[in-house]
Amino acid sequence: MRQSRLLALVGVVLLVALAGCAGTPADESATPEPESESTDIPADPSEGESLDESTDQPEPEVGTEPTATTNDTETTDTAETVDETTDQPTEETDSYTVTITHVIDGDTMEFEYENGTEDTIRLLGVDTPETTLSRVDPDEYPGIDDTTPGRDHLFEWGEKASDLAIEELEGEQVEIRVDSESDRRGYFGRLLGYIYVEGNNFNERLLADGYARMYDSQFSMREVFRETEQQAQDDDVGLWDYDGESASEESAGDGEVDVPPEPADGDYNCGDFDTQEQAQYVLENEPGDPYGLDRDGNGVACESLPSLRLYS
């Protein structure tokens, strides 16, 4: 009986010992869990692979070309494309193919670039007579008298210069060239340049054929233009073909101007006259301008009317 109890006690001790051995691995296997979490999320943000916060992409390794270089190249290419599509003068040596959309007068035109952008050009180095009679200035044209015949003569050639520009340029594709020695834009913001038609300088043609005088400023063709103008003057070409005395005699020989009869209401207006000379005659023979024919007070009546000299 005593021996049986002793055996039972030994058995209990062995069971306790075996249970202790089995509990130790269970405790140890539970400890790796926090270690696994620490490898997923570093305690120090500077450890491990750093991120670019703006792109959430890994920073490039040392010696590796950043991807931003590709973006810079694309940006540069885009900027160049914008300049090409804008197609406006940005370099001093540039020339452009454009379409003349509207002729304002003999030396000023509106045009359109190939991309549809609109602009205005003032022909460089030339000046055609004004097409508004009151703005004609004979003092700008040597040899032209500041008289009614002189002003009419210049007005006529201003109209002829406009007609030439319309016939040769309006609706046509031409080449515009800018001059490296000239200002790029004039006082009114208009582009300053030359127009070439089939390789021929239209500015120079205006001088050679007597449609314009040289407008003296700084530009590379200044001496060429000066010589061209001088040749036209020497040969009495175009507007330079003017004899003040004969023009005055011709005007005086015409006698009195045939003025339309006074309207029923006794009040002339510009629409009652066929020519500017008729309105001018009434203005000069009716003191005080009772009919209001010279509204801007410059001494020229109904300046929008055509001049009789245009039809002689």
Catalytic residues: 122, 130, 190
Per-residue 3-state assignment (H helix, E strand, C coil) for the chain: CHHHHHHHHHHHHHHHHHHHHHHHHHHHHHCHHHHHHHHHCCCCCCCCCCEECCCCEECCCCCCCCCHHHHHHHHHHHHHHHHHHHCCCCCCCCEEEEEEEEEEECCEEEEECCCCCEEEEEECCEECCCCCHHHCCHHHCCCCCCCHHHHHHHHHHHHHHHHHHHHHHCCCEEEEECCCCCCCECCCCCEEEEEEECCEEHHHHHHHCCCCEECCCCCCCHHHHHHHHHHHHHCCCHHHCCCHHHHHHHHHHCCCCCCCCCCCCCCCCHHHCCCHHHHHHHHHHCCCCCCCCCCCCCCCCCCCCCCHHHHC
